[in-house]
A and B are shown apart, each in its own frame.
Chain A
Amino acid sequence: MSFEADVDDVLGIKDLHGRLVATGSRQGALLKMIAVDAEYQSSELFSELINALISCGYQAGIENFFVYTKPSQYHSFTALNFHLLCTSEHVALLEYGRGINRYLQQHAPLQRVGDNGGVVVNCNPFTLGHRYLIESAAAIVDWLYVFVVEENCSSFPFDVRFDLVKKGVAHLSNVSVLPTGPYAISQVTFPDYFLNNSTLAREQQVQIDIQLFGRYLAPAFSIKHRFVGFEPYCATTSAYNNALQGQLPQYEIELCQFARIESDQGAISASQVRQLLMQHSFDNLSQLVPETTLKFLTSSKFFKQVHLDPKFRRH
């Protein structure tokens, strides 16, 4: 465990002598940096601490909480009615509030039986490349589910990205578009805080992310195929695709990688689009994005809702 400053609440409990005997923090829906002095570990201090962290979260409007712990320690959380979502070799992910059940119930009307496929996309923003991937995938499955990453870590806010995906695939009759919730590519499924060794940490995170897809999302929507675009630029995405290739078969899901379509400037990517936008060169955009996205990019809404920052927000 290591200290991270980027949290919303930090709580501590002191004994009568003023000595710190328990501490825990909350970053959004994620509880972290939880530690209780060995002397107090059999007491009610732990539940008091977690209770206080969750109360803070409720006041901030959060109703569903997550925690990572060692697989050997998860019982202390299930004793508080946390539910074990999945475990990898080094970490266990637990949830408080049964959010996964609610998420699946909420989207139950979209469930269809068949030889279905799924894609998980950020679409920051929706390009001709995304459209090509979705069209190609939809052509070979009964029904295609497009999960749009809900986490707001991108220059285009979720509502905008979601709307552009919906408009961009409206011509396809066997496609549903839905949000990922926190259950794919989110702050929860990709926490970089838990393990110090960063390569190991990334591997564990990817495992958790793929497990959530394989164990919860895919069975609910009868997904037997997952589609990704071949990733020529980003090392993280490329490593993620390799991990999918290795791990999806154990859930009886087949991974299909599609080559990217190209424009005059090489493979089409959303980062290319953002670069052009930052240079205010709107002329070449029509080669990269469909009409629906172009309409948004040239509207006044674009300037109000999107803030491009060259320094971060790669995706």
Chain B
Amino acid sequence: MEIQSKARAGTMQSSDVVVFVEPADQLTIEIESTVLKQFEHLIRQRIEQQLATLEVTRGLIRVSDRGALDYAIDARIETAVRRSMEG
């Protein structure tokens, strides 16, 4: 899939994550999290996996996390990417 416009998914609630995506020539992942110190590597890994599954190879991905579990990260990433394709 290809990120075609700016899009967003998720909320600022505890245990959720807000995902922002926008078109870019390279793939960049920026992570903000209230549990960054403990879990940044795991969050990044999960995002990379999900993007690979969705076959997203470029775009700016920003996540603002409040301790979301893996399935929530997956769902928000997928929703944001799909929204970006709706134009």
CA distance A81 to B30 in the complex (A): 13
CA distance A172 to B65 in the complex (A): 47
Chain B residues contacting A48 (CB-CB under 8 Å) are 11-13
Chain B residues contacting A98 (CB-CB under 8 Å) are 30, 32, 62
Q: Are A81 and B64 in contact (CB under 8 A)?
A: yes
B residues near A, CB below 8 A?
6, 8, 11-14, 20, 30, 32-34, 62, 64-66
Cβ-based interface call for A47 (8 A): yes
Residue-wise, chain A 72-110 has the 8 Å CB interface mask toward B (1 for contact) of 000000011100000000000000101000000000000
Of A50-58, A130-138, A223-231, A248-256, the stretch lying at the interface with chain B is: A50-58
Compute the total of residue contacts between A and B using a CB distance below 8 Å. Answer: 33
Contact pick for A81, options B6, B11, B13, B65, CB 8 Å: B65
Question: What range describes how many residues of A lie at the interface?
Answer: 10 to 19
Q: Are B30 and A80 in contact (CB under 8 A)?
A: no
Q: Are A81 and B66 in contact (CB under 8 A)?
A: yes
Chain A residues contacting B33 (CB-CB under 8 Å) are 81
Q: Are A51 and B66 in contact (CB under 8 A)?
A: no
Q: A80-B66, A81-B64, A81-B65 are in contact. Are A51 and B12 (CB under 8 A)?
A: yes
How far is the CB of A76 from the nearest CB of chain B, in Å? 12
- Pick the most buried of B12, B30, B62: most chain A CB atoms within 10 A of its CB: B12
Cβ-based interface call for A44 (8 A): yes
How far is the CB of B37 from the nearest CB of chain A, in Å? 14
**In the complex, residue of chain B having the shortest beta-carbon distance to the beta carbon of A48:** B13
Q: A81-B32, A98-B30 are in contact. Are A47 and B13 (CB under 8 A)?
A: yes
CA distance A96 to B8 in the complex (A): 14
Q: Would you list 18 pairs from A and B whose C-beta atoms are within 8 A, ordered by A residue?
A: A47-B11, A47-B13, A47-B14, A48-B13, A50-B12, A51-B11, A51-B12, A63-B20, A79-B34, A79-B66, A80-B12, A80-B66, A81-B32, A81-B33, A81-B34, A98-B30, A98-B32, A98-B62
Q: Are A44 and B13 in contact (CB under 8 A)?
A: yes
- Pick the most buried of A48, A80, A98: most chain B CB atoms within 10 A of its CB: A80
